[in-house]
Chains A and B, each alone.
Chain A
Amino acid sequence: MNRKWKSRVEVALIYLFIAFMFVVIAYPLLWTISMSLNPGTSLYSASLIPEKWTFEHYKWLFTSPQSDYLLWYKNSLFVAAANAVLSVLFTALIAYAFSRYKFVGRKTGLYLFLVLQMFPSLMAMVAIYILLNMLHLLDSLWGLILIYVGGQIPFNAWLVKGYFDTIPRELDEAARIDGAGHFGVFFRIMLPLAKPILAVVALFNFMAPFTDFLLPSIVLRDPDKFTLAVGLFNFISDRFANNFTRFAAGSILIAAPIAIVFLFLQRYLISGLTAGGTKG
C-alpha cells in the first residue's frame, strides 16, 4: 500500500512539473497572440486579455497600401524555394562523390567541411559584403541565395554523406553490372533511396530564409527586396514600442506555418541528425 502511494505522489509530481513547463512554454506564445489582437500599436496599453479583440493589425498587413508584407512574403518564398532546390542539388552531388569515390583530396575535403561548419558566417560578413559589391549582387535576392547555398555546403554535405554511407554499396554495384553509368547510379539508386535526408536538407534550407535576419539585413537595402525577418525587425527596431502589435501579428503569420510543418517533420529531422552525427 505504502509503495503504491509513493508511486502516485511521484506521478503527480511529474505531471505537476510538466504542467509548470507547459505554462512557461505557452505564456510567451499566448502573450504574442494576444498582443496581435490588441487595439492600438503600443506595448504599454496592451494587455494580456484585450478588452476589445481586433484583427486590425492582420488587416493592415494585407490591405494597407503602406504595407509591404505580401511583397516580403513573396520574396521570402522565392529565396526559400531557390535555396532549398539549389542546396539539395549541390549538396547531393558533393555528398555522392565523397561517399562513393576515391579521389585526391577526399580526406582533406572532409576535414575542411568539418572545420568550416564550426565557423559562424558572421565572421566573414565584411568580405561577403565587399564580394557581393564587386559582383554587383548587393541588394539582390540572388546574391542572398548565392551566399545561403554556398554557406550550407559544409554542414549538409557531411550530413548527406553520412546517410549515403548507410546505403549498401551492393546496390550500386548491381546497377553498374546492369550497365548503369555514374549518372545512372546517382539518379536512379542514390537519390531515390536518400529521399528522407534530402527532404531534411530541403526543409532546413527552406526554413532558414524565413528566420534568418542577419545576412539579409546586411545584403538587402531596398524595402521592396526585404525578406520577412528583416521587414518585421524594422517594425520594432527604430521606434520600439510603437509597432509592437503589428510586429506580433506579422510574426504569428510566419511562425504558425513553420511551427506546424516542423512539428509534423521533427521526427525525421532528429533521425537524420543522429544518423549523420554518429556515422560521421
Chain B
Amino acid sequence: MPEANVRHRPAVAMALSLLFAGLGQLYNRRYIKGLLFIVIEASFLITFYNFLNIGLWGLVTLGEIPMLDHSIFLLIQGLVSVIIIAFAAALHIANIIDARNDARRRQRGEPFPSLLESCRNAWDKGFPYIFVTPGLVMLLFIVVLPLLFMVSLAFTDYNLYHSPPRHLLNWVGFENFKNLVSIPIWKSTFFSVLAWTIVWTVVATTMQIALGLFLALLVNDPRIKFKRFIRTVLILPWAVPAFVTILVFAAMFNDKFGAINREVLSLFGLSIPWMTDPFWTKVALILIQTWLGFPFVFALFTGVLQSISRDWYEAADIDGATRWQKFRSITLPHVLYATAPLLIMQYAGNFNNFNIIYLFNDGGPAVRGQNAGGTDILISWVYDLTFTTNNYNMAAAISLIIGLIVSGFAIYQFRRTRSFKEEGNI
C-alpha cells in the first residue's frame, strides 16, 4: 500500500510528460508504463522524423528546385504530415493527462491498479477507438485529405502552363478568387453559371417534389383501385439506373433523329432544337430530372401519408373543413415534418447533380463569350476545368465556393439534429 505523498507534484509529472512521453510516468514510478511510452514515442520519431520534416518544408515552400522537387507530391506529403501530427498530438495529450491522473493518485496515496486491471481498463476505455480507427483512417485519407488538397490548390497557381515537374507551384493567396470576379471572361462565366445552377436547383427539385407529392395524394385516394400496381409502375424511373436513362434521353432528344422530335413532336408539326439551343436544353434537363427524381419523393410521401391517423380527418370533417383546408392544416404539415431533412438533401443533391448535366449534353451547347457550356452547373464546370482545360487552380477555387454553399445545407441539418440528444452510455 503506497502512502500519501504530498510532495509529489502533478504539475511536474505533466511537464515531464509534455517534454517526452513516458517521463512523467517514470516520475510517478510507473516504470513499465513509462518505458512503454518512451519506446512508442521514440519509434514514432525515428520512423516519421524525415517524412514529417520534408512534408512540412514542402507544405510551406512547395519545393525549391524545378524538375527535382515535385510541388504536388510535396503538397500531399505536407498534408499527410499535418494529419499525422494531429494524431500524434492527440496521443501526446492523452499521455499528459494520464501522467496527471497517476500523479494525483500518488499524491493522495491511492493504490494503483495492477497491470492486469489497467490492461482491462485500457480495453474498456479504448474499445470505441479500436472500432472507429479503421474507418476513420480510410475516411481521413480518402475523403478528408483530398478535400484539404483541393482547398490548398485554390490558393496556388497550378494550371496547364504552370504545372510540375517542369515548374514549381507558388502560394498566391486569394488571387484566384479575385480573378474569378474581376477578369471579364471568368466573371461573366462565373455569374451566368452560378445563376443557372441556382435556377436549376430550385426549379428541378421543386418540380420533382411537387409532382411526387401530387401523385402520392392522388394514389392515396380511397376510391383508387390497383394501388400496389400503380405504385410499382410509378417507382420504375427510380429503379432503372440513372446513367442508362440519361443516355437514353440524350438519344431521344437528339435534334435530328431523336424520337421526341421525330415521333412525338412531328405529330404537331414541331421540331425543337433540344441540343443546340441553350434554352431548350435547359428545359429538357429540367423535364428529365423531374422524370428521374419524382419517384423517390413519391415513395417517401406515400409512406408518410399512410401513417397519418384517420382521426385527424374525421375530426376535420365534423368541423366541416373543406378538402383544401384538410390538406393545408393536416396533410402538408405531417408530410413536411417527417421528410424535411430528406427533401433538403434533394436540393443539395441537385445542386451538385453532375451526372445528368455531363451525360445529357456535356454541359453544352457552347456559348459565345464564356468558357463553360450553356447548361454547365458549377460542379460540371469544375470537371471541365480540371480534366479538359487543366485549370486546376480555378477549378479548386470554384469547388471551394461550392463547398461554402453546401455547408449552408449542412448547417440546416445540424440545427435539426441538435434537438435530438444522442448520448453513449459507456
Contact = CB atoms under 8 A, between A and B. Distances in A.
Given A28-B249, A101-B127, A280 B341 contact: yes
A97 B239 contact: no
Interface in B231-249: 232-245, 247-249
Contact of A109 (B132, B134, B425): B132
Contact of A43 (B128, B144, B254, B402): B254
Nearest to A251: B244
B252 interface: yes
B245 A28 contact: yes
A247 B251 CA distance: 11
A119 B142 CA distance: 13
Interface stretch (A51-59, A63-71, A77-85, A110-118): A110-118
A68 B424 CA distance: 51
B383 interface: yes
Contacts of A97: 127-129, 131-132
Contacts of B395: 126
- Determine the interface band of chain A, counting residues with CB < 8 A from chain B: 35 or more
Contacts of A28: 245, 248-249, 252, 291
B416 interface: yes
Nearest to B338: A278
A167 interface: no
B200 interface: no
A221 interface: no
Interface stretch (B102-110, B216-224, B366-374): B216-224
B341 A278 contact: yes
B417 A115 contact: no
A22 B386 CA distance: 40
Interface string A166-177: 000100000000
A103 interface: yes
- Determine the interface band of chain B, counting residues with CB < 8 A from chain A: 35 or more
A247 B238 CA distance: 20
Contacts of A211: 241-244
B5 interface: no
Contacts of B243: 211-213, 229, 233
Contact of B248 (A22, A123, A248): A248
A28 B237 CA distance: 10
A21 B407 contact: no
A273 B342 CA distance: 8
Contacts of A251: 241, 244, 247-248
A31 B248 contact: yes
B424 A100 contact: yes
A131 B138 CA distance: 13
A147 interface: yes
Contacts of A278: 338, 341
Given A11-B224, A125-B386, A270-B303, A48 B410 contact: no
Given A114-B414, A127-B146, A274-B338, A262 B352 contact: no
Contact of A130 (B72, B123, B241): B72
A32 B251 CA distance: 10
B330 interface: no
B423 interface: yes
A44 B234 CA distance: 30
A154 interface: yes
B142 A14 contact: no
B257 A43 contact: yes
Nearest to A7: B223
Given A90-B135, A233-B243, A102 B425 contact: yes
A231 to B, nearest CB: 12
Contacts of A210: 241
Given A97-B128, A273-B300, A150 B239 contact: no
B149 A124 contact: yes
A221 B318 CA distance: 68
Q: Closest 9 interchain pairs by CB? A: A150-B142, A124-B146, A127-B146, A101-B128, A127-B149, A211-B241, A280-B417, A102-B424, A259-B239
5 contacts: A28-B252, A114-B414, A123-B399, A213-B355, A251-B248
Interface of A: 7, 10-11, 14-15, 17-18, 21-22, 24-26, 28-29, 31-32, 35, 43-44, 48, 90-91, 93-94, 96-103, 106, 109-111, 114-116, 118-128, 130-131, 134, 146-147, 149-151, 153-154, 157, 165, 169, 182, 207, 210-214, 218, 229, 232-233, 236, 241, 244, 247-248, 251, 254-255, 258-259, 262-263, 266, 270-271, 273-274, 277-280
Given A11-B221, A114-B413, A271-B303, 15 more contacts: A14-B223, A43-B257, A100-B424, A111-B414, A115-B407, A119-B147, A119-B403, A125-B386, A128-B142, A211-B244, A214-B354, A255-B240, A259-B236, A263-B239, A277-B341
